[in-house]
């Protein structure tokens, strides 16, 4: 069975992969998503528990379908 921390880490990794594919820095991604750069770092390290609303906001900022983030 999956532990929620493992899932958060995978989601964070998926955000990092998608961000780097677009050659965006954490700072630029944060600016586009209207969040603090430290928040992006926490997400990518799997330290930040995300709401569905925030996931939708972040995937929209990257202009990617939400299923790219939930790919395990």
- Other C-beta atoms lying within 10 Å of the C-beta of residue 29: 23
> What pLDDT digit, counting tens, does each position of 20-72 carry?
999 999 999 999 999 999 999 999 999 999 999 999 999 999 999 999 999 88
Question: Where is pLDDT greater, at 62 or 1?
Answer: 62
* pLDDT confidence band for 1 (50 / 70 / 90): low
Structural domains present in the chain: 4-67 (1.10.260.40)
pTM metric for this prediction: 0.93
pLDDT score of 2:
78
Residue 64, exposed/middle/buried by CB under 10 A (0-12, 13-18, 19+)?
middle
């Amino acid at each position: 069975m999956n532990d929620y921390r493992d899932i958060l880490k995978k989601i964070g990794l998926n955000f990092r992969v998608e961000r780097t594919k677009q050659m965006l820095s954490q700072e630029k991604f944060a600016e586009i998503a209207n969040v603090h750069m430290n928040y992006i770092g926490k997400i990518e390290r799997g330290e930040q528990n995300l709401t569905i609303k925030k996931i939708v906001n972040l995937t929209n900022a990257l202009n990617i379908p939400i299923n790219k983030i939930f790919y395990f």
